[in-house]
């Protein structure tokens, strides 16, 4: 059910050739020089605890240990989450010094209070330009089995994705050589790289690994749903029992989600993530073909990454283009407005092949929205270890 981008990635705007040339999507040669912009003042050193916060060994609920969850974890053996690695990633994630004019960071488009998404339809870059896709929530990004990132899944991993906003001419406007030069100029980084990787060497590989560690550490497990779920056995079906802490309406919405609404066919694990990209029938003809535009496979036109539903109440607007402002609009789409696109995913088709219509009553639609709001994670929303260290 959602709701389609990790670090929204817009198309390039025309920029003065006296600044720099950068084309991360086409692989063209990049001319590396410090962009000529009026720079904001250098951000002061981060404030960090003497002992790093816990990122590597989160105490997750037992039901997170089921195979359909653990098998979806895309953390590579070559880049496991460590406390010091994610700490470095946190600083990089919030550091505005890493944009051309020191005004934008990764967190500018992925705000903690908005489930690490952006509450506007399209994000604003360092020079005022706009992205062309909505910024996807980062919650539970590590539980996406194929490990791919962006709405169109063009990056094969969090590591491959991490550099793209930095070098995008709309978003942060740098080149990777300039990013590394900028990091080397900041006195607080050598010690952080030493702790994270065993030496003070600062390079692009270590930089993207640290950011990826921080992003993968953003696991949602402290919701009203989790409070109710924890009262039952690991292997017990949450659709079949009423949660004591839920209202009658929320329990009804939960039942619809897992049964008649078939929402769980795409978001059925305890992390509420999908196993891959879907065509959810937003349009009959797509102006943005998503995955199909990357693979050049017409059978994948209209496919977009399906993020976790955890934290969805705070991650509006919804879909890859931010077309829906409310959860009520999202529910109505799946209730009655799914388009019969030729690539429509099977989960959204009726037995006759046409779009499935839920035909929910007004009360049931409201109940489904109420259930989705039980997935709001107030824990991660206020957790200092995910906040800005500056």
Contacts of 125 (CB under 8 A, 6+ apart): 10, 104, 131, 168, 170, 171, 172, 173
Give the residue among 312, 304, 316 at the shortest CA–CA distance from 151: 304
- All structural domains of the chain, each given as residue ranges with its CATH number in brackets, are 224-373 (1.10.760.10)
Q: Quick one: pLDDT at residue 38?
A: 72
Spatial separation of the C-alpha atoms in residues 70 and 64, rounded to whole Å: 7
Q: Quick one: pLDDT at residue 107?
A: 98
CB 184, CB 176: distance < 8 Å:
no
Token pair belonging to 202: 């600062």
Q: Where are the alpha helices (DSSP H) in the chain?
A: 67-70, 83-94, 106-109, 158-162, 164-167, 176-184, 189-197, 204-216, 224-229, 248-258, 291-295, 327-332, 362-373, 378-382
What values do phi and psi take at 293, rounded to 5?
A: -70, -25
For the ranges 3-17, 23-37, 318-332, the maximum mean pLDDT occurs at: 318-332
Q: Quick one: pLDDT at residue 4?
A: 45
CB 376, CB 226: distance < 8 Å:
no
Q: What share of the chain is helix, strand, coil (3-state, %, to 5)?
A: 35, 5, 60
Read off the pLDDT of each residue in 242-246 and give the average, rounded to a whole number: 98
Q: Quick one: pLDDT at residue 25?
A: 37
Report the chain's mean pLDDT, rounded to a whole number.
Answer: 91
pLDDT in tens, 198-237: 999 999 999 999 999 999 999 999 999 999 999 999 999 9
Question: What is the DSSP code string of 228-247?
Answer: HHTTS-TTS-TTSS--TTS-
pLDDT reading at 335 higher than 60:
yes
For tokens 């094969």, the residue is 156
Q: Quick one: pLDDT at residue 14?
A: 32
**Would you place residue 37 in the very low, low, confident or very high pLDDT band (cuts 50, 70, 90)?**
low
Contacts of 22 (CB under 8 A, 6+ apart): 30, 167, 168, 169, 173, 174, 175
Q: Quick one: pLDDT at residue 23?
A: 35
pLDDT in tens, 246-260: 999 999 999 999 999
Task: List 149's β-bridge partners, or say none.
Answer: 155
Spatial separation of the C-alpha atoms in residues 279 and 287, rounded to whole Å: 14
pLDDT reading at 106 higher than 90:
yes
pLDDT reading at 17 higher than 50:
no
**Would you place residue 31 in the very low, low, confident or very high pLDDT band (cuts 50, 70, 90)?**
very low
CA angle 168/170/171 to nearest 5° reads: 70
**Would you place residue 41 in the very low, low, confident or very high pLDDT band (cuts 50, 70, 90)?**
confident
Q: Quick one: pLDDT at residue 54?
A: 98
**Would you place residue 379 in the very low, low, confident or very high pLDDT band (cuts 50, 70, 90)?**
very high
pLDDT reading at 270 higher than 60:
yes
pLDDT reading at 121 higher than 90:
yes
Between 38 and 125, residue with greater pLDDT? 125
């Amino acid at each position: 059910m959602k709701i389609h981008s990790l670090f929204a990635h817009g198309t390039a705007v025309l920029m003065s050739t006296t600044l720099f040339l950068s084309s991360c999507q086409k692989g063209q040669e990049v001319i590396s020089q410090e962009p000529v912009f009026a720079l904001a003042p250098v951000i002061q050193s981060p404030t960090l605890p003497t002992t790093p916060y816990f990122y590597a060994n989160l105490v997750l609920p037992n039901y997170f240990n089921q195979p359909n969850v653990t098998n979806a974890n895309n953390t590579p053996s070559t880049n496991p989450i460590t406390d010091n690695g994610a700490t470095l990633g946190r600083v990089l994630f919030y550091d505005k010094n890493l944009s051309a004019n020191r005004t934008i960071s990764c967190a500018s488009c992925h705000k903690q209070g908005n489930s690490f998404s952006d509450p506007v339809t399209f994000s604003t870059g360092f020079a005022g330009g706009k992205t062309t896709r909505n910024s996807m929530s980062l919650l539970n990004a590590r539980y996406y089995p194929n490990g791919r990132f962006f709405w169109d899944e063009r990056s094969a991993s969090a590591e491959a994705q991490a550099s793209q906003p930095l070098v995008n001419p709309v978003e942060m406007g740098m080149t990777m050589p300039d990013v590394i030069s900028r990091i080397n100029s900041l006195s607080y980084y050598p010690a952080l790289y030493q702790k994270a990787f065993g030496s003070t060497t600062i390079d692009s590989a270590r930089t993207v690994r640290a950011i990826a560690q921080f992003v993968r550490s953003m696991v949602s497990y402290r919701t009203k749903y989790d409070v109710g779920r924890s009262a039952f056995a690991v292997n017990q079906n949450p659709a079949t029992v009423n949660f004591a802490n839920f209202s009658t309406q929320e329990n009804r919405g939960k039942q619809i989600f897992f049964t008649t609404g078939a929402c769980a066919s795409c978001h059925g694990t305890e992390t509420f993530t999908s196993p891959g990209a879907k065509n959810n029938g937003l349009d009959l003809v797509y102006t943005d073909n998503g995955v199909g535009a990357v693979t050049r496979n017409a059978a994948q036109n209209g496919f977009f990454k399906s993020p976790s539903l955890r934290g969805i109440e705070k991650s509006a607007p919804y879909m890859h283009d931010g077309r829906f402002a409310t959860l009520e609009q999202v529910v109505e789409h799946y209730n009655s407005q799914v388009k019969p696109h030729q690539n429509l995913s099977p989960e959204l088709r009726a037995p006759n092949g046409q779009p499935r219509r839920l035909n929910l009553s007004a009360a049931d639609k409201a109940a489904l929205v109420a259930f989705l709001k039980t997935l709001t994670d107030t824990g991660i929303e206020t957790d200092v270890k995910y906040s800005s260290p500056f």
